[in-house]
Amino acid sequence: MQQFVTKQLQDHQALFQKIETELARPIAHLAERLIETLKIGNKLMIMGNGGSAADAQHFAGEIVSRFRMERPGLPAISLSTDTSIITAIGNDYGFDRIFSRQVEALAAPGDAVIGISTSGNSPNVLKALEVARQAGCTTIGLLGKDGGSIKAVCDIPLIIPSHDTPRVQEGHITVIHILCDLIEQGLFGIFAREGL
């Protein structure tokens, strides 16, 4: 078992070396876009299935409440948290529309709609991002593997370079934490004071 643990940690470290090398600039670029979205009064809408639903809820919670610093609340919605809405849409229209119907109802031009999918192929996330694009939103994917079909409908696809679902999820939550930190610093902290 100890060897198994060691191998898991080594795989994690190897992936995070790749993320540092390949994604530091794209993560910073994504943070800049999210900061601009919030600065002009728009909101973040975040979605995913299973573990990615938990990540969407986590992301929205950090934005609405706080991450590290005391500051005003910011507008973010997790589309996977309202069971009445999800079950109504799923029952009336089908599971593939549980997110797209919410985007149709709630999105405004200039909002950022973020889909989280380890495979890059979640049909309900794909449909929602298509609707978001038609509504004039910035479409963002936190994806894995090769980005799947979702990559093509994203203005900013951020792909964790792994085919191993647990490793992709570890990458996603770390990216989310970095984004939350950068958003706070960009709006209220050191980057805001420096005018960056």
Segment 21-46, tens digit of pLDDT = 999 999 999 999 999 999 999 999 99
Looking up tokens 């089908």 gives 94
pLDDT at 196 over 70: no
Sheet harboring 156-159: ordered strands across?
Answer: 76-78, 44-48, 112-117, 138-143, 156-159
Q: Where are the domains of the chain?
A: 22-188
**Class of domain 22-188 as given by CATH:** alpha beta
Rounded to whole angstroms, the Cα distance separating 85 from 97 reads 11
Which residues does the annotation place in the binding site for substrate? 49-51, 62, 91-92, 117-119, 122, 169
Q: What is the pLDDT of residue 89?
A: 98
Which residues does the annotation place in the binding site? 49-51, 58, 62, 91-92, 117-119, 122, 169, 177
Which residues does the annotation place in the binding site for Zn(2+)? 58, 62, 169, 177
Q: Is the pTM above the cut of 0.75?
A: yes
Q: CB–CB of 59/48 below 8 Å?
A: no
Question: C-alpha 44: how far from its chain's center?
Answer: 9
User: Could you report the per-residue pLDDT of 91-138, keeping only the tens digit for each?
Assistant: 999 999 999 999 999 999 999 999 999 999 999 999 999 999 999 999
Rounded to whole angstroms, the Cα distance separating 65 from 78 reads 13
